[in-house]
Structure 1
């Protein structure tokens, strides 16, 4: 527009305000900021630069975009916040003109320079110091976070190794316990089988013991009866002997001298041989030895004494003196 002049190189953006006084085309240009890489707007291939103005209220990066219109037309430039320009360019080619897309004012109002160059230098140095301090703080914070992250990673790795070792130990213990459990179950089944066999054997032994006790009781009862019979036989024998002695004394007393054969009792069956077998328990001297055995063996039903008809339990051999 003949008043504001902007020059954009590969790395620096320059500006001056002519006030329409210069006519030679020679201007003293001031650096406004460092140019950004050209790939920011690769779709249009236009020269551009980015900076933050220090003399206005704008506190965010501002993009300076310049271009030439078609041949035989005036050139133009725009100054807008980067985010706004990016949104506009995403929709299509930016609008042409000299006014700001955001506020509508002339774009040059966003970035005019003060006349005091030294003050601007001091301000830039102060801002540079602040930026360096901020960079240092950010770097220190990043280093601290990096060290903390590395320490956390080492601690996590150590814990991971410990947990893996504990897991391996636990798995080994589980395997050992599984083997022991299998062995214990086998022993348990073996003991169950043995206990079942022992229970059966104990039951059989108990049954045999009961039968043995019953048989022993029966034997004791029979022995007791035999003892009783033996005592009765002994008493009967003793009484018979006493009776024979009395008879012998009576014969001697009466002076009877008869033959011993005739004096003796005769067998009630054969009437030939002397009776030398008595019936137990009545004590009658009835049989000779041969007829007594025949009488006892051939009589099928209840055996009785032929003299008194008392039940005969057994025969007793009598020997005379």
Structure 2
């Protein structure tokens, strides 16, 4: 069964192996039944999917729901037309099968949401005209996470993805005394962050800084309202992170490597005003601790929504 837009129902029913759907003896509006011979090839199935997708997008447009979000870094704030690069153009044309007249939602990662209409669509070059520009609300907090990259790269990538989805403003990979990974793939990390931003329908792209030695990071000026460090030394008095979350605040949280921060690193951070924080009674992996921090702060501000 497929739901189609009203004006296409008659044409859809004119095709073989497609029939009206009845309820209490009356045909249901916008619904058609497709018998198995009507989708027994990839081409036939694709046509059925396109009918359903067209209806979904129509309803989404009417209710101002974003189905897909695209990212174009270089869009001017007052842009009237957008030219997509080859990679995005191919995705729009070949994967999503968008055509002239279809709507697209695009962000530049700086909080602006551009509602556009496709002027021309091809695998190599897609062009859209801007219909509306909206500035979306930023997070009700600022969160800068300085996290030591994990030995297994996929664990740190998982943190980047999930933290971006939940809400984070800045990420700095720090190289510590006990770090086993001292080199990162920044370009790959940036792609993961962009993908997570688009998936979560956020219009704000978190800033990813270059990896930096922990000692050098401490020397930088930090203006956050609260600066915390999570470590495993149980002999140090700690405050639970949930007890220091306040509206409108900004946070800088340090998360160490698998071998934890060294005593010297903890001491130096403490001298610079970093408070020892607790995330609970359990010992967490580096990436789990980083996600826990992101989640505690995000949930405290009720900024998460299940899509």
| TM-score with structure 2 setting the length | 0.15
Structure scoring higher RCO (CA < 8 A, sep ≥ 6) equals 2
Structure whose residues are more often helix by fraction: 1
Structure whose residues are more often strand by fraction: 2
